[in-house]
Amino acid sequence: MKLHLKKNDLNKGLQVVSKIAQNKNNNMNTEYGIFIKAVNNQIEIQANDYAMGIKTIIPGIIEEEGETFVANPYLIELIRKISNDDITFIKKDTDSKLIITGGNLKFECATMNASDFNAVEIVDLGYTQLETNSLILKDLIDSTTFSCATDMSKAIFMGAYLDIHDTNISMVATDTHRLAIKKALLETPIETPLQVVIPSKLLAEISRQLPVDIPEIVTITAIRNYVAVRFGNVYIKTQLIEGNFPNYERVIPTDFQSEIIVDRDIFTGAVERTSVVAKDAQYNVINFTFSNQKIKLMSQHPEYGIVEDVVPCTMTGEDLTISFNGKYIIDILKHCRQDKISLKVKNNSPMLVTDQDKTDCLFVVTPMRNK
């Protein structure tokens, strides 16, 4: 193999596979594994940690075709530090070393047996397929996955539920204490519905890759026990979490005593201040009293004292006092978009939080027992 590459193209390609290439949780001892394949006028960079396989294509000149598998945690860092724009990769079939040169630098890089790499093959035919765009998919992921469980004992909730039928695409995440739902529409209806649970860590990696400056079409293909996500030069295969995701529609409260409209920034500031001292206590409990067109917040820490704050609001319905975990409220407020948000509440019942005039994104949070 002999390749002539531009540093910038190579860096971009390595960046795409970097997280997966460096995942230490993969099955084989191929940590930091990067697979490079140059055939048919195409230079591919791949990584595969068995939970996720990823590949990308980079521009470059193939003087001699070939492939190589490098397991070196420092390869990406070293290439980023090369001061020259032109980088050459040479790997002779008779030698296990990949020779990387750029400027005055020469790196004789040890390689693994290329056939030991579990290549990421593109499968175009699945049992169902859809097209959306990178902005929509990124928004679905980023608006919900913060609510996924991190606790291994709730395996199914460590992923987000991707539910696609007709022209409806939605993502749902919950750790049983809080729930986030984000809905969007497809331009073309999907033929066979798709309902899968994707691990939140893999969704985070997909979100990191999705282009936002110049949106791209994203194709999602479902194949037995995984889904493939394709956009631009990037192809990702991701494992699924098996099991049934519970009926989330049933969890969304519909019966309320009061609705509160409040300025998001002002409310966020008050919740953040009130959490500062309580976050060290067991559950970061903040007590909210809705009364008289005001929200009164109160938290206490057994050693450090009591914090109170007050925020003006527009309120319809009955006065009431209810407690929530401050961290959950802050998480939700970060994911609302409008200046004004709506809180719908009922005594000792889950609260529904949305932007004031938008219901494509819903958040539900369970109260804590009042002290």
Q: Which residues bind its own copies (CB under 8 A)?
A: 72-74, 77-78, 81-83, 97, 104-110, 269-270, 272-273, 276-277, 279-280, 303-311
Q: With respect to its own copies, which residue has the nearer C-beta, 2 or 273?
A: 273
157: β partners: none
The span from the first CA to the last CA of the chain, in angstroms, equals: 69
Q: With respect to its own copies, which residue has the nearer C-beta, 67 or 309?
A: 309
- Burial of 337-365, coded b for 16+ CB within 10 Å and e otherwise, reads eeeebbbbbbeebbbbbbbeeeebbbbbb
CA–CA separation, 134 and 125 (whole Å): 21
The least CB distance from residue 337 to its own copies, in Å, is: 21
Q: With respect to its own copies, which residue has the nearer C-beta, 106 or 154?
A: 106
Q: With respect to its own copies, which residue has the nearer C-beta, 123 or 306?
A: 306
The least CB distance from residue 82 to its own copies, in Å, is: 7
CA–CA separation, 54 and 64 (whole Å): 24
224, HSE (Cβ side, Cα atoms, 13 Å): 1
223: β partners: 226
- Closest Cα to residue 75, out of 1, 15, 9? 15
Q: With respect to its own copies, which residue has the nearer C-beta, 131 or 280?
A: 280
The least CB distance from residue 136 to its own copies, in Å, is: 34
The least CB distance from residue 293 to its own copies, in Å, is: 14
Q: With respect to its own copies, which residue has the nearer C-beta, 93 or 305?
A: 305
The least CB distance from residue 313 to its own copies, in Å, is: 12
Q: With respect to its own copies, which residue has the nearer C-beta, 72 or 200?
A: 72
Q: How many C-beta neighbours within 10 Å does residue 201 have?
A: 19
Q: With respect to its own copies, which residue has the nearer C-beta, 171 or 297?
A: 297
SS3 label, residue 83:
coil
Burial class (CB within 10 angstroms; exposed 0-12, middle 13-18, buried 19+) of 212: exposed
**CB–CB of 64/14 below 8 Å?**
no
- Closest Cα to residue 193, out of 217, 223, 170, 163? 163
The least CB distance from residue 283 to its own copies, in Å, is: 16
The pair of three-digit structure tokens given for residue 237, joined into one six-digit string: 């295969």
CA–CA separation, 49 and 31 (whole Å): 8
The least CB distance from residue 12 to its own copies, in Å, is: 19
What are phi and psi for residue 341, nearest 5 degrees?
Answer: -125, 160
Q: With respect to its own copies, which residue has the nearer C-beta, 81 or 154?
A: 81
Q: How many C-beta neighbours within 10 Å does residue 217 have?
A: 11
The least CB distance from residue 270 to its own copies, in Å, is: 7
The pair of three-digit structure tokens given for residue 36, joined into one six-digit string: 């490079």
The least CB distance from residue 50 to its own copies, in Å, is: 22
The pair of three-digit structure tokens given for residue 62, joined into one six-digit string: 């193939």
